[in-house]
Structures are given as C-alpha cells and as structure tokens.
Chain A
Amino acid sequence: MNMLLFKENLEREGIIFSFSGTISQNILSSIAETLEKELRSTGVSFVLIQNIFAVFTEQMQNIMSYSYEHIHLGDNALKSPGICVVGYDRAKKHFFVSSANVMHPDGELPLREKLDKMIAMDKIELREYYKILRRSGKEKHGRGAGLGFLEMAKKSSLPIEYAISHLDDKRSFFEIKVYL
C-alpha cells in the first residue's frame, strides 16, 4: 500500500479524521467524544461541534443497524464494518461528515425514495416532517425510530449528497456526505 498516496488523498479532500473498520457503540462513542474535544480545542463553535457530533453519531448508528454485514453481539448490540470521515471542505467552507457501508440491493429503491424526499424539503418542512414521523412512530423498529436521516437533513447546511453503487446481486455500496 502506498501510504504517501493515501495521505495526499486525505489532504486533498480536507479530511481531518478517517476510520475504516468495525463500528460498535463503544468505538462510536470513543471517536465522537475525541472529535468533540479536538474541535473544541481549535475554537469551533458549540453548535457546529454538536451538529458534527450528531451527524457522526446518526451515520455510525445507521451503519451498525442497517449494514448488510452487521454481526450480532447479543443484547440487541451490533457491530458492522464501515468507513467514516470528518473533514473541512476549503472551497465550500463547510465541515462535512461522510460514511459508507455495504447494504442489500433490495433496500436501494426505498432508501433513494426516502433520501430524495428529504433532500427536496426546506428546513421548515424538515422540522415539521420530523415531528410528524416521530409522532406516528411509523418507521420505528427494535433499534431506532427511523429518524436518523431526517436528523442529519435538519442539521445539514447544504443538500445531503449520496450515492449507491451496485456491487453484485447481494451487495450495494452506500455512501453519504453531509455538510455542516
């Protein structure tokens, strides 16, 4: 592996932090707390840090819950392989949180519909839609309320970017980028 090339890639993309490996609740909270301290020491505002923390948490918990490759740890605890990065886009002048995981192709269409619907909404519509979904509990399941993407959309400063690449019959690659 060419680490110099890897480093140059990270620098070009403005990546401050990157992780690729198994994501579990313990790893998530350790990373999130460390990021929070790091950003605080560099003078980033409280709200911005909190939004980065929130989007990072929702993305990691989505990977843990929805990755096609998750492994059960017992007691409704899961771990999954995934990739996540936090960076600062110098051209757009915004921080971003981006992540990727393998999903089952059957989930592609509903996921596209769900994301496209919220990408088309403005902040006021998102806040209302969040409240409606939370009240109805329509997307609630054993591990969540189905509100994670909406939470990210509410906090994002630019429209959410995402892509789904078809790998084979059983695997699609999902990536998402949220600017704060």
Chain B
Amino acid sequence: MENLHIEATKYTPEIDLNAEKNMLHFSGKSYPENTFDFYQPIIAWISAYFQEETKRETVVEMDIIYFNSSSSKLFFDLFDILEEARQNGQKITVHWLYDAENENALEAGEDFKEDFESLDFELIEK
C-alpha cells in the first residue's frame, strides 16, 4: 500500500499516512471550509489500510493545535473507523498531543477519549 503525504497549508494540517511504519500522523491546524471533501482521500486511505488482512500495531498521532467544528465531526468519524478496526482485531494506539497551555486541545482530547472508551487513547502533554 502506497504511503500518503500531504503538506500543511494555512488551514489544513500536515498529514503523513505511512503503511510501512504503521504510523498515521496529523499535525497543525484544521479549519478548511469543505472539510469532508478535503479529508475524503485520507479517510479512504485509512479505511483501505485497515481492511488489509495484515495484523499490525498502528500508532495514530494527532498533534492538532486548533480545529473547527466540522473537523471535530471528521475526527469523530475517523475514530469511529479506528474503533471498528480495533473490534476486528487490529491493535491501535491513539496519541493525542497537546501543549500545556492549550486547554482547548486537552478538553477536546478528553471528550474524544470518553466517546471512544474501547480505543487505547492516550493524552500526552508535549
């Protein structure tokens, strides 16, 4: 499976989906106007990745400084895919990174963690 790398823009994060390292990485800000269109290829890649038979240990690293409400829904849908993959026997750890001064990022991470109890969801202060 080919890796997918997308450079950051002013309002979309850097995205690095690496099928060799089993690392899905997002960093930066996320506030596009057409969030679901923007993330469509990313969601498609991740769905395909977890549909492969290979059993592996995947780390999903979310280092998002700021995201708008539509990105919040998009991340929810992403974690939903991860939860389903986990139920199908995939081993997944989510690292939710936040700055000590960024209370919003911490609160958002706590809310996702609560929503996805069966996911191994770690809140990590940078």
Report A's interface with B, CB cutoff 8 A.
Answer: 25, 28-30, 33, 46-47, 50-51, 53-54, 57-58, 61, 64-65, 75-78, 127, 130-131, 134-135, 137, 140, 142-145, 147-148, 150-151
Can you name 20 extra interface pairs (CB under 8 A) apart from A76-B34, A145-B69, A147-B69? Answer: A25-B32, A30-B10, A33-B10, A47-B103, A57-B31, A57-B68, A58-B69, A61-B33, A64-B33, A75-B34, A76-B33, A130-B111, A131-B115, A134-B72, A134-B73, A140-B73, A143-B70, A144-B35, A145-B74, A151-B68
Check A145/B34 contact, CB under 8 A, given A29-B11, A131-B115, A135-B76. Answer: no
SS class of chain A's interface: helix, strand, loop or mixed? helix
Docked CA distance A177–B77 (Å): 31
Question: When each residue 26-61 of chain B gets 1 if its CB lies under 8 Å from chain A and 0 otherwise, what string results?
Answer: 000001111111000000000000000000000000
Nearest chain A CB to B90 CB, angstrom units: 22
SS class of chain B's interface: helix, strand, loop or mixed? helix
CB-defined contacts of A135 to chain B, threshold 8 Å: 76, 115
Residue from the list B37, B73, B99, B104 in contact with A145, Cβ < 8 A: B73
CB-defined contacts of A28 to chain B, threshold 8 Å: 33
Docked CA distance A29–B69 (Å): 15
Docked CA distance A87–B37 (Å): 33
CB-defined contacts of A131 to chain B, threshold 8 Å: 111, 114-115
CB-defined contacts of A57 to chain B, threshold 8 Å: 31, 68
B69 touches A150 (CB 8 A): yes
A50 touches B66 (CB 8 A): yes
Nearest chain B CB to A108 CB, angstrom units: 22
